[in-house]
Amino acid sequence: MIVHLCTIKAFAADDAVQTLTVSVPPAVAIEKTVSSESGNITPSTGVHPGLNASFKLQTNGTDNNYLFIVGSKITTTGGVEVSAYSNDGTSLLFGRSDKEEFYPTTEAVENARVGGKNNPNVIAYPISQMNITAPMTVEYQASQDTDEGTGCYVVKVNNSKEGTLTQIIGGTPVAGSYTLGNDTAGSYKAVVYFTAIGKQ
Amino acid sequence: MKISKLLPVTLALSLCMTTATFAATEATNSVHNADYLLQLAPFFDIEATAPTKAGTVSYDQNYTKISIDNAVEGSFQVISNTNTKDVYLYGTCLADSEVSALYGDFGALKLVFTNTAVGGNGQKTTDTVVEGIRKGTITAAKGSPNAIAFNLKVTPSLDAEKSLKNGSITGVKDGEDNVKYTMPNGVATFLCSVSGSAQDDSFSTLDTNGTYRATIYMSDTKYTP
């Protein structure tokens, strides 16, 4: 006689399945790679040696994900920041920045923006180069809204993942924007920024 | 439900929440600036903008009064890009040495002219004579041989196109020898005109014939004789 001391139990099927998914979101990295951002103006002519900046853009996003803009700003009376581009985007306006009491008025900036001659403490210099490596493109869009008003450069990545934006500011002032007596001695500043705004 | 089944459910919920955060399309590290900064140095320049106009004089039959027929004029153009700038006007004439020739109150300036003849017949005046006219110590005619004083009118103006809007130039007498003008940034013209008749009993028959000259200067440095 054989006696079994252990009993084999029957287990019911009890499987569990977990499907793990991870979404990789669109992301952007912008880095300023090279730049020459300061210089001296020759008072008698208004000429400076030239300025430039380059930004490296990396993204796995598309133009549907982001609005890539190259904006600009200049500080006016009362600390109000307005766009530093001329209306046609061909020049960048610099405003006196070292003492608040000598900040340019918004009227002076507006005058310089349309190529006028009555713009104390504002000097316009040509944007002699503004490009980005293909297939990305960059162009000025006068109607594009920014925090500082309308008008900025817009970059289209065209499904590319990486590109370098280069901006060069010419050294000879735009005709009429520099007057020895009207533009007082001091520091003149313009800020150009490159940013990506997520589209929800 | 067994505990062994609760844990995977919790994990799954956690993953879902994390995935929801990643789904946002906010850009990260996405703003970079180029802060362009230019320095504009102070600029200052003075130039005599027009040739000085020489004048002729006429006198009465008794040689007691003399007056300039046509105004003697000169002008300076001053360019400054600083918010305020002081410039000094002063004058000299040649006596024993080159001495200060400007005197009078602001708004009623006078300038001493001296005979340019060098040597010969006592035509050259002396430092003492010029100083006497300026200080008012010569009160009688014939007290100032070969030195004659005339009124000097200075008219400053700003170029409206190249200067601070609504700006103005102010002036004040600065000591005995200088007039200080304070101007805003811009382009200013100072028209200097000498006209009228001799002042302060400085004309007499002791003023011999010849050319009388005074020199006016404009500088950002105060004149100290």
How confident is the model at residue A18, as a pLDDT?
Answer: 81
What pLDDT, on the 0 to 100 scale, is given for residue B111? 96
Range name among A126-140, B4-18, B155-169 with the lowest pLDDT average:
B4-18
Mean pLDDT of A15-25: 80
| B94-129 per-position pLDDT tens digit | 999 999 999 999 999 999 999 988 655 667 899 999
pLDDT score recorded for residue B160: 85
Candidates B8, B38, B159; nearest CB to A188? B38
pLDDT in tens, A49-79: 999 999 999 999 999 999 999 999 999 998 8
pLDDT at A143 over 50: yes
- Chain segment A164-191, per-residue pLDDT in tens: 999 999 999 999 999 998 999 999 999 9
Residue A183 near residue B81 (C-beta atoms within 8 A): yes
Residue of A nearest to B162 (CA): A181
pLDDT at B27: 53
Query: What integer pLDDT is reported at residue B23 of this predicted model?
Result: 31
Most confident of A25-34, B18-27, B131-140, B187-196: B187-196
Does B80 reach chain A within 8 Å, measured CB to CB?
Answer: yes
For B157-207, write each residue's pLDDT tens digit: 999 888 877 789 999 999 999 999 999 999 999 999 999 999 988 998 888
- Maximum distance among all Cα pairs of chain B, rounded to whole angstroms: 137
Q: What chain A residue is nearest to B167 in terms of C-alpha separation?
A: A182
Residue at token pair 């289209």 = A156
**What's the whole-model pTM score?**
0.80
Q: What percent of chain A has pLDDT over 90?
A: 80
Q: Contact at 8 Å (CB) between A111 and A93?
A: no
Minimum CA–CA partner of B80 in chain A: A181
B32 pLDDT tier (thresholds 50, 70, 90): confident
Least confident interval from A33-42, B14-23, B55-64, B201-210:
B14-23
Both tokens of B152, joined, read 């000097």
Sign of CA dihedral B188, B44, B179, B140: negative
Residues 6 or more apart in contact with residue B61 via CB below 8 angstroms: none
**DSSP secondary structure code for residue A56 in this structure:** E
Interface probe for B, chosen from A73, A180, A188, A197 (most Cβ of B below 10 Å), is A180
Instruction: Pick A22 or A161 by higher pLDDT.
Output: A161
Cα B177 to Cα A129, B92, B106, B218, B225, distances in angstroms:
56, 9, 11, 12, 8
Cβ of residue B197 closer than 8 Å to a chain A Cβ: no
Determine contact: B92 vs chain A, CB below 8 A. Answer: no
